[in-house]
Structure formats: C-alpha cells, structure tokens
Amino acid sequence: MFSHSHIKHRNMLVQPFLVIITLGIYGIYWFHVTLRELHKANGRPEPVHWKWTVLFCIPLLDFFTFWHYSGEYAEFVWGKYPRILVFILWIVFFPAVWFLVQRDLNRTASVQFMG
C-alpha cells in the first residue's frame, strides 16, 4: 500500500478555463503533475514522469504516452476502467479522460484530507 498524501485536489470547473487562458499550456502541466501523482501512488520512481511529458508534446509519440498514462490510471483505480478503454478515450474524446482521472484524484485527495 502506497501513500496518497501527495495527491492534490484541483477544481474541475476552473481547469478548462486555465487551458483556454494559457492556450493549452495548462493541459501539458496537468498531464505532467497528474502523471507524477499516479506514478508515485503506484510506487514508481519519481524522475520517470518527465520522459512521458516530453513525449506527450510530440505528435505520434504521444500515443505511447496515452497508453502509458492509461495503464497508470487503470492501476490507480484497481482496474475499474481497463487500460484499453482509457486509451481509446484519450484518442476519441480526451476530456473524458481528464474528467475521470481528476475526479478519482480529487476523491483520493479528499479522503486524505478528511482522514
């Protein structure tokens, strides 16, 4: 069992505005910090998330990051959503991935805050 005290609660209503205001840069930041949180929650070493953030910004290679992120998220939620389903959502309708991931991270952060 790994600690989840590092997971930060983020306002899901403010985030879309931040993406628009920053012309998408907040989306890259969100990907980076949430992947770091997922890695840590899943017991992965800290530095590896930088590699995935760089690949996320490169067309076609970003599919590898979608697959990796999908696996980290699927592990975090104990298979509640299969990796392949999350991967397909990344490709077809990425806001659904944002919603699912942030919702589950916020729930975990809230439990940590209350517990």
- Cα distance between residue 37 and residue 72, in whole Å: 10
Checking if the pLDDT of 114 tops 70, the result is no
Give pLDDT, residue 75: 97
- Per-residue pLDDT tens over the stretch 34-45: 999 999 999 887
Name the band, by pLDDT with cuts 50, 70 and 90, for residue 113.
Answer: low
**Residue 101 contacts residue 108 (beta carbons within 8 Å):** no
Give the list of residues 6+ apart from residue 101 with CB closer than 8 angstroms, or none. 34, 38, 73
- Per-residue pLDDT tens over the stretch 71-82: 999 999 999 999
Give pLDDT, residue 1: 47
**Residue 81 contacts residue 87 (beta carbons within 8 Å):** no
Which helix or strand (DSSP H or E) is residue 96 part of?
Answer: helix 94-114
Mean per-residue pLDDT, 10-34: 95
Q: What phi and psi values does residue 11 have, to the nearest 5 degrees?
A: -70, 115
Q: What phi and psi values does residue 22 have, to the nearest 5 degrees?
A: -95, 10
CB count in 10 Å sphere of residue 91:
11
